[in-house]
């Protein structure tokens, strides 16, 4: 049995040649149809905007942030790109299936998927506060939701023998999380999904993961445990002596999404200013 059969359940008898897309300088995503989950606000919104700035047509997927999603889609359309919103609760497989079909029919085939949606259990300040409800919610969004999106959108990419997927995980895969162990477990799960689907969809669809550390966002800084003392401790233990801003991490996602990473799949890129410094 060949490696191709073992990995992607397809027999590949000849070596596959990488064919980077031709594009004008600074327009790595010209003509690319991208779908970003959780794009109605925050980090997902910045990713979608950056993709559009480099030429992508963008599906702004959201669950609760309807106003933000519609505003962003209008903003993208004003630049001459295509954009539409797509409401989906990624924890519900039937919704993911129907959303995927709708996007394919109304927007066109998706070339790039960014699985940005995640649940960080931000109301939980200690492992002592863990509840079964919190565990179920985090695992449902981060693992089930990511899996459903990978499975549905990735399967269609595989049929076309073309596509790129970027999952957003976290540096907790290295550091752990005494605050919310279920969050660390869920992001370990995302890495498992990244590697598994990288093999399942090979050699046609690349799947990689970006792993940010602490980010200077409202979701972090509004937490009850985010004190000046804790911020100082984190900065002191970060090699680059700063808390990352979302705009520092967006380029990492775009790198994995573009042909700049054309010979990478199943990879994990940690961007946390050297806080975790994982070994090889």
What are residue 269's DSSP bridge partners? 210
62, 39 contact by CB (below 8 A): yes
DSSP 140: I
Residue of 183, 188, 197, 214 marked active site: 183
Please give the Cα distance from 154 to 130 (Å, whole number).
33
Our CA dihedral for 140, 143, 145, 150, rounded to 10 degrees, sits at: -160
210, 44 contact by CB (below 8 A): no
| Token representation of residue 62 | 């959201």
CA 26 to chain centre: 22
Please give the Cα distance from 255 to 253 (Å, whole number).
5
Q: Count how many residues are written for the chain.
A: 280
Please give the Cα distance from 73 to 210 (Å, whole number).
24
What are residue 34's DSSP bridge partners? 58, 112
> Is 183 known to be catalytic?
yes
Chain position carrying tokens 């380029």:
251
φ, ψ for residue 12, nearest 5 deg: -120, 110
List helix spans (H) across 60-126.
66-77, 93-106
Please give the Cα distance from 265 to 82 (Å, whole number).
28
DSSP 15: P
Please give the Cα distance from 96 to 88 (Å, whole number).
6
Catalytic residues, by residue number, are: 183
């Amino acid at each position: 049995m060949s490696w191709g059969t073992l990995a992607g359940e397809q027999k590949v008898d000849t070596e596959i040649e990488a064919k980077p897309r031709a594009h004008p300088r600074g327009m790595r995503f010209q003509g690319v149809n991208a779908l970003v989950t959780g794009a109605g606000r925050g980090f997902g919104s910045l990713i979608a905007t950056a993709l559009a700035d480099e030429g992508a047509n963008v599906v702004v997927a959201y669950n609760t942030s309807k106003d933000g999603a519609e505003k962003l889609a209008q903003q993208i359309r004003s630049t001459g790109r295509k954009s539409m919103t797509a409401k989906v609760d990624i924890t519900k497989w039937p919704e993911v299936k129907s959303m995927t079909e709708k996007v394919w029919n109304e927007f066109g085939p998706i070339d790039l998927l960014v699985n940005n949606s995640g649940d960080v259990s931000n109301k939980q300040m200690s492992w002592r506060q863990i509840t079964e409800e919190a565990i179920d919610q985090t695992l449902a969004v981060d693992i089930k939701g990511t899996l459903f999106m990978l499975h549905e959108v990735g399967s269609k990419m595989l049929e076309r023998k073309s596509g790129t997927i970027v999952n957003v995980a976290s540096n907790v895969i290295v550091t752990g999380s005494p605050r919310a162990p279920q969050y660390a477990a869920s992001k370990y799960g995302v890495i498992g999904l990244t590697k598994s689907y990288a093999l399942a969809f090979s050699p046609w669809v690349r799947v990689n993961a970006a792993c940010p550390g602490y980010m200077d966002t409202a979701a972090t800084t509004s937490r009850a445990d985010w004190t000046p003392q804790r911020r100082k401790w984190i900065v002191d233990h970060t090699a680059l002596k700063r808390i990352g801003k979302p705009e520092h991490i967006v380029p990492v996602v775009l790198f994995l999404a573009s042909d700049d990473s054309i010979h990478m799949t199943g990879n994990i890129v940690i961007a946390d200013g050297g806080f975790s410094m994982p070994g090889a």
